[in-house]
Amino acid sequence: MTKEVIIALIGVAGAVIGSIATMAGNIVMHFLKKKSESEKEKPAKELLKEMLSHKKYTWRKLETLAHVIGADEEKTKRLLLAIGARASEDGQHLWAMKSRAPLNKGEGSSR
């Protein structure tokens, strides 16, 4: 092989290695970011579970849940779904744990 071909191959190898290193770095950063977000949301999820597991209340208002955890309604809904909660079927802004308020399958009319 000529000197020019060897230099070209070294250049291509450097570009490939650089691309792989960049992709690996991006994957690691993405993983760490997701892990960090998950850790930040853990206290809010625990508080929501505690509120929805209270003996006195089966259903809780979305507004109350959002206020207590300090989040907007969209984030609160996402967290509620993640912990196994569900919204009421009658259009009210109420939420409960699925284990405490299962869906009435096959009963009543569908909306």
**CA 22/CA 7 separation, integer angstroms:** 22
Domain boundaries, the chain: 3-97
- Per-residue pLDDT, averaged over 12-39, amounts to 86
Q: Are residues 96 and 104 in contact, defined by beta-carbon separation less than 8 angstroms?
A: no
**CA 57/CA 33 separation, integer angstroms:** 35
HSE, side-chain direction, 13 A CA sphere, residue 63: 2
- Per-residue pLDDT, averaged over 21-25, amounts to 91
Give the model confidence (pLDDT) of 54-103 as tens digits: 999 999 999 999 999 999 999 999 999 999 999 999 889 999 999 999 98
Q: How many CB atoms lie within 10 A of CB 88?
A: 13
Query: Phi and psi dihedrals of 97, rounded to 5?
Result: -70, 140
